[in-house]
Structure 1
């Protein structure tokens, strides 16, 4: 699956946002040591929210949600589409040329860039976007190679509690009850009982800071 195929599978902006928040909450519960794979910042800046994935092995993605839509950047460090394959760190032809003006500033966002020989460059092998009025997600009109979309965004594309359970079993090596994961997917407020069912060593009070950053409701949390 490449980005053009992913664009056909991804749900609406609102659903991608809700799923991203759920992934971040569950990962936070399962990794109280701070090594979560998925994260979400509800107050990223200038009214924007940021969902992110970092597998700790050089692969990452960012999804920025703004008042006008959403922008997705993914970077698979082993992809033949990686800018590291070029001496000047040039992006794959067509990857970002069609990005609308509303998201142009994100192409030079420091958080998404790596240091080149003379200046920073966007670390990207995947790029999608969707304005609120767009009927579907969009990509550049490019000749695709293996861009990493197939594995990087598989969980988002599936978007089910069962898929997250598979992720937890492989990444955290723990079994989860589908009903508990579904409760988070439905954005039910977290309580101590649910947290302990997901991770017996986790503590709701200790998670409060992370949940506030994510913007997820919890018992005795902010109204």
Structure 2
């Protein structure tokens, strides 16, 4: 039997913070081009979530989500897989170890209302962080459930496109979810953070244009040629 994939495995596969920032920004830009209706997009990026912070987010509309906050203090990653046996709703609070070791500099994110339910409980099954100056990503010391699937905290499912950042991985996901052909070279262009052009936009979606995407481009902070 294969060993479970957990948040610790994902942490080892994440890139440097700047590269993760650019990748998350690119995912949001790709989806904005492919899907004009914001409601149906999984990936979003707000370059000005607050005065000094940017936030990447993912929500699949079925209760699974993540949020990644980029700031001068570092990067805080929170994920929630609603069917995970480590759900706070299954154990009446965050699973032991998931948040216990989060540094003080990120505690405000742990308690952030946007990442909590109406009772103030953090909605989380997986958490990763990296302070500015650290040489690696960190996750808590966790005793994972013994009888579980190969993805106990949902990290492999939630962060799959962050661990495998290849254009092919996004193409496979997008063609399955959006049910349209997705141009691989255009995906490669955007994932490389090269400036967006009219030709790249049209290759991804013939009905889209730079003008129509102006608001999304501004929110995401993606470069334009």
- TM-score, scaled relative to structure 1: 0.93
CA distance in 2, matches of 1:53, 1:110: 17
Q: Deviation of residue 97 (structure 1)?
A: 0.9
1:73 to 69, 73, 78: 78
CA distance in 2, matches of 1:60, 1:193: 32
SS at 1:151 equivalent: helix
CA distance in 1, matches of 2:58, 2:137: 19
Partner in structure 2 of residue 211 of structure 1: 217
- C-alpha offsets along residues 87-138 of structure 1, whole Å, 9 cap, x if unaligned? xx311011111000110000111111112xxx22110000010012211110
5+ residue gaps, structure 1, are: none
- C-alpha offsets along residues 10-63 of structure 1, whole Å, 9 cap, x if unaligned? 111111111100000000011101121100000011301100000000110000
The answer on 1:163 being equivalent to 2:163 is: no
Partner in structure 1 of residue 197 of structure 2: 191
2:96 to 80, 93, 98: 93
Partner in structure 1 of residue 23 of structure 2: 19
SS at 2:212 equivalent: helix
Q: Deviation of residue 76 (structure 1)?
A: 0.2
User: CA RMSD of the aligned region, Å?
Assistant: 1.1
- C-alpha offsets along residues 138-167 of structure 1, whole Å, 9 cap, x if unaligned? 011111240001111011101111111111
CA distance in 1, matches of 2:51, 2:213: 25
Paired residues, what number? Answer: 214
The answer on 1:82 being equivalent to 2:101 is: no
Partner in structure 1 of residue 46 of structure 2: 41
Q: Deviation of residue 177 (structure 1)?
A: 2.2
CA distance in 2, matches of 1:172, 1:4: 30
CA distance in 1, matches of 2:133, 2:169: 29
Alignment of 1:26-175 (within 5 A): 26-34=30-38, 35-86=40-91, 89-115=92-118, 119-145=119-145, 146-175=152-181
SS at 1:72 equivalent: strand
- TM-score, scaled relative to structure 2: 0.92
Partner in structure 1 of residue 148 of structure 2: none
Return structure 1 stretches of 4+ with deviation > 4 angstroms. none
CA distance in 2, matches of 1:3, 1:162: 23
CA distance in 1, matches of 2:133, 2:172: 34
5+ residue gaps, structure 2, are: 146-151
